[in-house]
Every structure is written in structure tokens, then in C-alpha cells.
A and B are shown apart, each in its own frame.
Chain A
Amino acid sequence: MCGICGCGQPNGAVTISKIDLKKVNLGKVSPVADGHHHDHDHHHVHAPAAKQAPGKTVLQIEQDILGKNNLLAERNKGYFEAKNILALNLVSSPGSGKTALLERTLADLKGEIPCYVIEGDQQTSNDADRIAATGAEVVQINTGKGCHLEADMVNEALRQLKPTDGSLLFIENVGNLVCPAMFDLGEGARVVIISVTEGDDKPLKYPDMFHSSQLCIINKIDLLPYVNFSVEKAKEYAQRVSHITEFIEVSATTGQGMERWYEWLRKRKSGN
């Protein structure tokens, strides 16, 4: 029995079926002649809560501070699911090579999978311009004083970008290894990018970002001979603070390792 109104329909008895229009007799529909209306208003009218004077009232709120962002993130997620879009949130410190990685990815995947980009920076459209030069459709979000993207910004950007069904959406977050960690954008996966010029203990120093990510890309591996970076140590540290099990080592400038990134994208896109 339904717990709300007591009707006799057992739970799970609901079925949903699409009507086949070819089997329906599409006759003429006549408007209702007398236009009578029933007044079905069953609502009680509540008196406004009397202001508790002269004393104080304690209001139990119990509201998650990030609740509003999370709700909007869920809406973004719904949008992506309905349109079969794989949305990725790319996070890293400034200068790790996110945009260069995207430029190469967009050029190499051109014609294979439709790609769209949302760029996030405090100021300028420099990154969006670089992306646009590859031929991909892109929207630039300028956060002004803001240090991270939030779900409402992505929501607005999507209305302008209008990505097509079945596409790949890259959201390049503001370069910042701290704040973006807390803000769900509704992405399908979060990819943290570090470069070998940054120090292999990055994951220990910025645990929240790694903790919230699903894939780690280690960029600029062409520079390994010139820096003191241990790929093994970086992976070990990342696994201490997160559940990341997959690491892809690349050089966005030379192209080394990029095919593994494309394989990951293809696999993830097809739902594996």
C-alpha cells in the first residue's frame, strides 16, 4: 500500500511504456465546450510564523554549505547523462600544461569524437583563443577575483556552448591545486595533472585535490632528464592520499604517451 495516500497500488507495480504513434488513431480533438473548472484547492493556509518577541528563537538549520553548488552540479550531471556527454574536470596548478595537453588532444581527436571546451581563468581569453585555433568550440569563463570554477558557472557556460549529444567536454579549471577540489561541477571524472617540473611530493602537499580525482596525468616527461622527479615516488604519494590507480605519463609537446590518454578517453566514453 502506498505510504503517502494509502492507495492499493503495491510498490513496484508502476510501468512506463512509450506509445507507438503508428498504432494510434489520430482523430480530431475537440475543445471542451463548457470550460467548467473544479476548485481542487485542498491547501491549508498557514498563518505566517509569529515573530518570537521579545526573546530569541533558535532555528535548527542543518544545511550543507555546499548544498546549493552540489544541487546545481547534480543538474549539470543530469544534462550530461541525458545528452550522453562525457564531461571531464581538468585540475592542476598553473603552468602544468593543461591547455597544451588540450590543444594536442583536440588536434589528434579531430574528426573522431566531437569535442567541446569550457575554459576557466581569472582574466583574459588567452586559453580559449588557443583552443579556438584548433577548431573546437569553446567558452571562456573569467572568474575575476575567483580562484575556482563552480557549478553555476558551468551551467551558464553550457547554455552558451550547446554541446551536441555524444560529445566529449573538457572543463579546464582555474590553475589552482587547492580550491577547485571542493567544488563539484557535475563532471563524469576529475583528472589531476602534474608536471615533472613541480616536485614529486605534490600529492602529499595538496592531498584534497588528489583525493577528489580519478585519474592522474604526469606531463612534461620529455624534461625528466633535467629535473629531480621520481615518477615512482609521485605515484606512491598519490596513492597514499587518494584512490587513484591510473597514472598516464605524457609529453603534450612531443606527443609521447598521448595515445594512452586517448585510449583512456575512448574507453571512458564508451562507458567502460
Chain B
Amino acid sequence: MHELSIISSIVQIATAEIEKAGAQRVESIELDIGELAGIEFSALDFSWEVGVSQTVLEGAERHIHRIGGEAKCSECETVFNMQALYDPCPSCGSFFSEILKGKELSVKALTVS
């Protein structure tokens, strides 16, 4: 389950940033996660407690901005909402498209004290 690996990377980023800021604890963390980023949200929730236990993120609130998938058809240039990587263009049915949004996977902000 690679969600645990992702959480480990999030902890690393938070630890580095809290040190840089000279702060004591993380009150909350904001994450941008796209729906096409390959993250299973329920698996992330499930692994979160385990993953942040005994780290700077233990006890911190987490706010996840789920970013919907959006793609542009390579054939007719229609921009459409994409729920899954194999969604065809609703206008012309083509499977060839360029993903504009939905693959984000980043730590947006930390609230520290």
C-alpha cells in the first residue's frame, strides 16, 4: 500500500518545515490531492494515524482539498471533467486527451505554533 509511503514523505516535509520555522508543533496540515493522482483516499485515511504516530504530525488536523480531474481532448479540444483515466471525450468520444487538473499531490500549507 503506497499510501503509507506517501504519508512518510508528508511527514518528512512537515518535519523539515517546522524546524525551519522554529516552531513547536503542527496544528493542522493542508494537502492538495487530485482525484487522478493515484491516491486511494480511504486508504490514506486508514493509514494516516499509523503513519503519523510519533511524528510532528501526530494529533494535527488534516484538511485535504480533493481536486477533480479535468482534461482537454486532443482531437476536438473540448475541456471536460475527467473522473477516471479512461474517460472518453464527451463531445467526440476520443480517448486521447491531455490532463489539465487532477494529478496534484502536494503539501499546501502547515499551521504551526
Closest to B32 in A: A62
**Which listed residue (A57, A63, A148, A208) contacts B112, Cβ 8 A?**
A57
**Which listed residue (A57, A60, A68, A211) contacts B113, Cβ 8 A?**
A57
CB atoms of B105 and A207 under 8 A apart: no
- Contact A49:B21 (CB < 8 A) given known A56-B27, A65-B9: yes
Closest to A147 in B: B2
Alpha-carbon distance A208/B36, docked complex (angstroms) = 9
With both chains docked as a complex, state the minimum distance between the C-beta of B60 and any C-beta of chain A, in angstroms: 12
Chain B residues touching A, majority SS? mixed
Chain A residues lying within 8 Å of B112, measured Cβ to Cβ, are 56-59
Q: Which of B24, B86, B88, B112 has the most CB of A within 10 A?
A: B86
- Contact A241:B85 (CB < 8 A) given known A56-B27, A69-B9, A146-B5: yes
**Which listed residue (A60, A68, A207) contacts B84, Cβ 8 A?**
A207
With both chains docked as a complex, state the minimum distance between the C-beta of B96 and any C-beta of chain A, in angstroms: 8
Q: Which of B1, B24, B38, B95 has the most CB of A within 10 A?
A: B38
- Contact A239:B107 (CB < 8 A) given known A59-B17, A207-B85, A211-B85: no
CB atoms of A61 and B10 under 8 A apart: no
Q: Is B78 an interface residue (CB 8 A)?
A: no
Chain B residues lying within 8 Å of A62, measured Cβ to Cβ, are 106-109
Alpha-carbon distance A243/B10, docked complex (angstroms) = 30
CB atoms of A59 and B21 under 8 A apart: yes
CB atoms of B38 and A64 under 8 A apart: no
CB atoms of A240 and B95 under 8 A apart: yes
Q: Is A113 an interface residue (CB 8 A)?
A: no
Interface residues in A, total, Cβ within 8 A: 39
Q: Which of A54, A59, A179, A243 has the most CB of B within 10 A?
A: A59
Q: Is B12 an interface residue (CB 8 A)?
A: yes
- A to B contact number (C-beta, < 8 Å): 96
Chain B residues lying within 8 Å of A51, measured Cβ to Cβ, are 21-24
CB atoms of B5 and A63 under 8 A apart: no
Chain A residues lying within 8 Å of B27, measured Cβ to Cβ, are 56
CB atoms of B38 and A182 under 8 A apart: yes
Chain A residues lying within 8 Å of B5, measured Cβ to Cβ, are 146, 148, 150, 179
Closest to B7 in A: A65
Chain A residues lying within 8 Å of B67, measured Cβ to Cβ, are none
Alpha-carbon distance A50/B22, docked complex (angstroms) = 8
CB atoms of B13 and A61 under 8 A apart: yes
Interfacial residues of chain A within 54-93, with CB under 8 A of chain B in the complex = 54-69
Chain A residues lying within 8 Å of B105, measured Cβ to Cβ, are 64-66
Q: Is A171 an interface residue (CB 8 A)?
A: no
- Contact A65:B106 (CB < 8 A) given known A58-B111, A148-B5, A240-B95: yes
Q: Is B6 an interface residue (CB 8 A)?
A: yes
Q: Convert B89-113 into 0s and 1s, putting 1 for each residue whose CB lies closer than 8 angstroms to a CB of A.
A: 0000001100000000111111111
Interfacial residues of chain A within 114-173, with CB under 8 A of chain B in the complex = 146-148, 150
Closest to A58 in B: B111
Q: Which 4 A-B pairs have the closest CB atoms?
A: A179-B2, A207-B85, A241-B86, A56-B113
Not counting A51-B24, A57-B112, a sample of 20 additional A-B residue pairs whose C-beta atoms are within 8 angstroms of each other reads: A56-B111, A57-B21, A58-B110, A58-B111, A58-B112, A59-B112, A61-B110, A62-B109, A64-B105, A65-B6, A67-B106, A69-B9, A146-B5, A148-B2, A150-B5, A181-B38, A183-B2, A207-B86, A208-B85, A240-B88
Interface set of B (CB-CB < 8 Å, partner A): 1-2, 5-6, 9-10, 12-13, 17, 20-24, 27, 31, 38, 84-86, 88, 95-96, 105-113
